[in-house]
Each structure stands twice: as structure tokens, then as C-alpha cells.
Amino acid sequence: MRILVIEDEPKIAQAVKRGLELKGFAVDVVYDADTGLAHASDPDYDAIVLDRMLPGSMDGVALCQKLRAGDISTPIIMLTARGTIGDRVEGLNSGADDYLVKPFSFDELTARVRALLRRPPVQVGTSLKLADLTLNTGSYEVHRGKEPIKLSHKEFTLLEYLMHHPGQVITKDMIISHVWDQDADILPNTIEVYIGYLRNKIDRPFPKSEALLQTVRGFGYKLSTG
Ligand code: CA
């Protein structure tokens, strides 16, 4: 696995490089945001360790946003000296997958890189995608192609859950336990109603596109292509 480290402090950059290499990763280091952007667009990197404060025309947050806007889905861990909740939220909302506050231990960095590499590559930054359907978990926007789709809060949560499990049969019980809280008194019929709402918004208005929300008789539902 090949890792790109974008970090301007040479001591930290070299220490991260050595630490990750000892764990068997191939590591390239660049020291400013602009070189980082050029390297990060290379699909051969399996993960990126990105410092938040960088010299160059943008900081780590802006760099991350640029990559995600360009559909670069490489997992990103953001490093920062600052660890306020606002900073962490800003980092994650910019499309970083994880966040590590300096000083950090190499064992933790390595463990987090490994965890990111285990994730299925369905999510590009804050967007989930299936065929031409996209759901943005940061902005709460849903699109089919370029067409925006307005969903209620519950419909959004239901679609987000289904999009995390593409091609998998999801039972009504699974939906009840993942989309509603434990105090909610939900009957299986209610799920059918919500699935109907969702189908009317993501599939029915787009007859030229493939229907994505499928009923698997006797089992539940499946969001998939083909
Ligand atoms: Ca820095």
C-alpha cells in the first residue's frame, strides 16, 4: 500500500515516513499544498496523510475540498495541532475521512491508516454514490444525475442507510433498527410506506434511468444497479 504524506515540517514528515515504512507501507512525502494537490490526484496512492496548516496557495482543508470536488476518493487522514471540536468538524466536512491531533503516536496513525484502507470504496468524501444517484452527508443534498431531489429527514436517513449497503438485501427489521430510534413504535407497514415515498422520489421521476430501489419479495429491499 502506498501512502502520500503532505506535511511541511520536515522532522514530522520524515518521522511519519520512517514510521509508516517500518510498518510496510511505501511512503512519498511532499512539503507544500500545491505539490500535494498535484501528487494527490494520482490514483496510485491508497491513502493520504494531510497536514491541516500548510504553506502554499491553500491550507489542508481547502486542499481536501479540492480533491473531493475533483472526485478523488483516496482516503484522507488530516493532521492538526489544533483539536477543537470546530476544527475537527471543519476537517471532516471538507471530506477528510479521519482526524488526528498532534502530537500523536505512530501506532495510532498506523492503526487509523489501516482502518481507512479496510473501508469499502463507495464513498467519495462526504458523498455516497450509486449509479447516477448521489447523497451528500455533509450538505444533505441528494441528486439523480444533475437533478436535485428533496427528501424528508426520515427519507434521507433511510436512503443513506441503504446506500451504505449497495446490492445487499435489507430486511424491514434491519431498517427499523438502523433508521428509527429504540423508542419509536414502528410497524413493518410503515417501512413499506417510506420505501414507497423514496421510490416516488428517486426512481419514478427518472424513467430513463435504471430503477435502483428494488423489492425482494418475502425478504426486504435492495438498492442496486442491474
Ligand atoms: Ca504544518
Closest to 83 (Cα-Cα) out of 113, 105, 103: 103
Q: According to the model, what pLDDT value does residue 127 have?
A: 81
- Ligand 1: centre distance to CA 90 (Å): 17
- Ligand 1: centre distance to CA 199 (Å): 47
DSSP string, 67-92: HHHTT----EEEEES---HHHHHHHH
Task: Give the percent of the chain with pLDDT over 70.
Answer: 95
Q: According to the model, what pLDDT value does residue 23 have?
A: 81
- Ligand 1: centre distance to CA 77 (Å): 14
> Average pLDDT of 157-185?
85
Residues 27-74 pLDDT 10s: 899 999 999 999 998 877 889 999 999 998 999 999 999 998 888 888
* pLDDT reading at 181 higher than 90: no
Closest to 16 (Cα-Cα) out of 107, 127, 94, 85: 107
* pLDDT reading at 133 higher than 90: yes
- Ligand 1: centre distance to CA 82 (Å): 11
Neighbours of 168 (CB within 10 A): 13
